[in-house]
Structure 1
């Protein structure tokens, strides 16, 4: 019961966060001109998929950024990587670079598995260093799938928590991200908030994604520290909407 109680508290904090920022956003409606906090943690929600016996949208990914000491990556920088390219991209508008966003990579991978597109995208999971073909050719071939990934991710509602501390492996952002993932994950524990049969992540090649119910693979099999909820509550109280 302790985990369920902690999950209920976690989602109550998200409800408070919704009220503070005026509701979740979608990437399709966001720009870098909005007054985003420099650093923070974000959670993506699955549209139309709610928690067990509630109306709360279920969290499907938790993330942060600038976890290496000295990193200058901002919150919007990371969200923009998930968003992909805009309409002004001359070569690949509304595409993206899944090699710069693990979230994009995993979603594309699941689409490949669901629709048996392996022959169409043989290099999707390969690093550039292991691909012995012209990069522009590979980008052109992968463009259609990158567009599908962009369309999927830009419809996922998300919330963000302002948490501005120095980059590093021991930052509060890492602490909150790691423990939130461990709390939400169903790996190796009783299933709470079961995932809908139609959730795209069920087609993932990653057992961690399929069993956790999250687009995360790190920390899904770890034990969470319930004290992280106190730090999350403090951060929620300090988060304001971007103008």
Structure 2
């Protein structure tokens, strides 16, 4: 009962956040020229994935950026990695680099499994250092899948909060990300807000993703601290439209 109540409060805070920033955004309509906060935490939701009790769109990924000490990565820098390449890219427009975005990598894996494309993309899970062939050849081979990933990711509504603290594993941003994932996750817990049969994540190779109902792997099996919701509420109050 306590977790359900905390989930209700979490989603109510996201509703407040959406009201403050003028609604959710989609990456397909976002640019770096918008007034993004330097640092923050983001929440991707998914069309068709709703909560059992309220019909609110369900969060399917939580993330932040630059939590290593000394990092200068901004919120938009991280969102741009998920977005991929734009129309002006000379060689691979509307593609991307899944080796720079775990979100893109996991979505691509699920597409491969769903459509039995393993033979078409043998290197998708490999790091560049493990691939013996020329990178340009592999990029060309993976381009069509990168485009499919871009199409999927760019259609996911998302929200963000301003949380401008110094990069650190102990930062407020890392604390908020970790606890939000742990709260939302159904991994090895009683299921709340069941995942739809059509959710792409059900095809993931990762049991954590399939069972948690999130595109996250880290923190899905951890306990959460309810106090993080107070931090989220403060961050919501500090967030303005981009």
Q: Residues of 2 paired with 1:48 and 1:3: CA distance?
A: 23
Query: Shift of residue 6 of structure 1?
Result: 0.2
| Regions of 4+ moved over 2 Å | none
Query: Shift of residue 53 of structure 1?
Result: 2.7
RMSD of aligned alpha carbons = 0.4
Please show how residues 190-229 of structure 1 align to structure 2 within 5 Å. 190-229=190-229
Q: Residues of 1 paired with 2:204 and 2:188: CA distance?
A: 18
Secondary structure, aligned partner of 1:25: coil
Q: Residues of 1 paired with 2:203 and 2:67: CA distance?
A: 29
Taking structure 1 as the reference length, what is the TM-score of the superposition?
Answer: 0.99
Give the unaligned 5+ runs of structure 2: none
Query: Shift of residue 208 of structure 1?
Result: 0.3
Residue 233, structure 1, aligned to residue 233, structure 2:
yes
Q: Residues of 2 paired with 1:136 and 1:59: CA distance?
A: 35
Q: Which residue of 2 aligns with 1:15?
A: 15
Q: Which residue of 2 aligns with 1:131?
A: 131
Corresponding residue pairs, total: 242
Residue 105, structure 1, aligned to residue 109, structure 2:
no
Q: Which residue of 1 aligns with 2:74?
A: 74
Q: Residues of 2 paired with 1:119 and 1:187: CA distance?
A: 30
Residue deviations 1:48-72, cap 9 Å, x none?
Answer: 2210031210000000001100000
Secondary structure, aligned partner of 1:235: helix
Q: Residues of 2 paired with 1:159 and 1:231: CA distance?
A: 16
Q: Residues of 2 paired with 1:170 and 1:193: CA distance?
A: 29
Taking structure 2 as the reference length, what is the TM-score of the superposition?
Answer: 0.99
Q: Residues of 2 paired with 1:49 and 1:102: CA distance?
A: 21
Please show how residues 156-171 of structure 1 align to structure 2 within 5 Å. 156-171=156-171
